[in-house]
Amino acid sequence: MSTILEHSHREYRTFVKDAIGVQVDLPVIITEHGVLDQFARYMYLYKHMSRSWQDSATFAVQLLLEYMEANQRFHDTARSLFIAFSDSLYSGTIMDRIDPSGLYWDARSSDDASKLIGHVTRFSDWLAEVNENVDLQLNPWREASRHEQRLNWAAYSHKRDNAFLSHLWRSKPQTDQSRVIRSRSLPMERLTPAKAFPEQYFEPLIYDGFRRRARDSRGPTDLRNVLITYLMHYGSLRLSEALSLWNDDVSFEDGELIVRVYHPEKGLAPDGRTRRDNWLERRYGLKPRKQLVKSTDRLHLGWKNPLITDHHRKCFEVFFYLPNKEQEFLGMWLDYHQKQRVKPKAGEDHPYAFTNRDGRPYSHRMFRDAHELAIERIGLDYHKMAGTTPHGHRHAYGQRLAQGGASQLLIKNAMHHQDIKSCLVYTQPTAIQMRQELRDMEARMLLRLKNNSNCQLTKV
């Protein structure tokens, strides 16, 4: 797949949000004419969205610009161009190893192509709206570049033709309208083995995989990596959520261990009054890790918008499952802070619980590397489909709840899903379970037939 966009590239620029001077780094598209002004305004409008969403939207518009540059002369209408653009996302542009357009796009999965179409649709809707209300703009457009003229032409046609792309992002279905280009999704159910970490290997992973090389008073086990793994395996956290914990986020209240995961920006700081983004800025001179640029800053952490259940603190609690695992976690948490946690150096202080050997916040990549090494130490293959990547532990938590008879509502709340449909993946039977249940049904049926036959003989 072509990954180099010849006519544009992405950079991150700093925008000042208000008179206070609060800054935010956002992706922008750079062409030979400079910053694509229209898209920069659009990105600022969606500055609250996750970094992954922003990067995906940027990439989608870059692909559109690249396609327009290569195919503009072949299309008289925006509708035909966008239909062809959509087809190229789904099927690729290479035919018999030849691509006259020079794009050399491989075919994308239905989900990936649909997501890109959704981003282009949202941007075009916005562009059509602001161009229509040009007299109301406080900061009018400058003279449009060639790329912006093409986007404006597409947006005008989009408005005139009552929209050309499928609104995959709409929350409510459109019953009176239909987009010309619709997503090509396939009806799928999960009948392959779920991507859950195999339970029988958990203890070997903890005691053998995460063993420390040094033999000293700090103990034989790397407690930092074990604690993070416990949070995922027995507490359902995503890796980014576990790494976002501050020292004060774990407490013992009324005889109960309480682990709270706070929104990285809006969550309540330890003083009980301040937002976390303001606390980080004023106390440590830091930005929330959610705001860091993923491609350039190793400390970036994503945020999947989990269900916030404590609206005052802007956080949710971790619910450990199996019995006594929270007590095991608490003991290791205390040992880690007393024996193994490396404190930040002078002038580099921060509130994050998990640190590297230099006392800086522990990164996503560092844990993934340590986890992969631990998997290989116990003789397993490191692969998503085997459930041996970090996210496999969260899947194991969900399946453990489902196998224990938990309702979908309980699974939804325990795993902090906003939509109850998100937990269906954990209750969907695998192919192995389907075969076993059918065998069990057959055995019960044969037993009933045998009992009925015996009853008939007894009556005779």
Note the helical H segments in 161-200: none
Q: Is residue 287 part of a domain?
A: yes
Both 278 and 370 in a single domain?
yes
Residues 120 and 265 in one domain: no
353 with 249, same domain?
yes
- State whether 328 and 227 are in the same domain: yes
Q: Is residue 445 part of a domain?
A: no
Among residues 134, 160, 186, the one where a domain terminates is 160
Report pLDDT for 340.
96
Q: What is the pLDDT of residue 132?
A: 60
Same domain for 348 and 210, yes or no, is: yes
Domain, as residue range, for 40: 9-160
**Last residue of one domain, picked from the residues 133, 160, 187:** 160
Tell me whether residue 38 is in a domain.
yes
Q: Give the rounded distance of the alpha carbon of 287 from its chain centre.
A: 20
> Same domain for 156 and 213?
no
Asked whether residue 2 is domain-assigned, the answer is no
Looking at the fold, whether 211 and 335 belong to one and the same domain comes out as: yes
d(C-alpha 316, C-alpha 117), whole Å: 33
Residue 81 lies in a domain: yes
385 domain-assigned: yes
Tell me which of 108, 133, 160 is where a domain ends: 160
Q: How many domains does the chain have?
A: 2
Structure tokens at 174: 């459109």
Helical H segments across 192-338, by residue range? 202-204, 223-233, 239-243, 276-279, 325-335
pLDDT under 70: residue ranges of the chain: 1-7, 16-22, 78, 131-150, 152-194, 427-430, 456-460
Q: What is the predicted pLDDT for the residue at 107?
A: 87
What Rg do the C-alpha atoms of the chain give, in angstroms? Answer: 27
CA distance 232 to 304: 15
pTM above 0.85, yes or no: no
Confirm whether 420 is domain-assigned: yes
Task: Based on the fold, state whether residues 242 and 295 are members of the same structural domain.
Answer: yes
95 lies in the same domain as 236: no
**Same domain for 204 and 151?**
no
CATH of the domain at 313: 1.10.443
Task: Report the pLDDT value the prediction gives residue 192, as an integer from 0 to 100.
Answer: 47
pLDDT per position as a tens digit, 399-426: 899 888 899 899 999 999 988 888 777 7
Q: Name the token pair of 410.
A: 């309980």
For 304, other C-beta atoms within 10 Å of its C-beta total: 12
CB contact set of 105 (below 8 Å; sequence gap of 6+): 1, 2, 88, 89, 92, 93, 94, 99
Q: What pLDDT was estimated at residue 171?
A: 37
| Residues 141, 205 within the same domain | no
Residues 240 and 309 in one domain: yes
Tokens for 369, please give them. 């590397």
Q: What is the 3-state secondary structure (H, E, C) of 393-426?
A: HHHHHHHHHHHCCCCHHHHHHHCCCCCHHHHHHH
451 lies in some domain: no
pLDDT number for residue 166: 40
What integer pLDDT is reported at residue 142 of this predicted model? 47
Which of 182, 133, 122, 127 is CA-nearest to residue 153?
A: 127
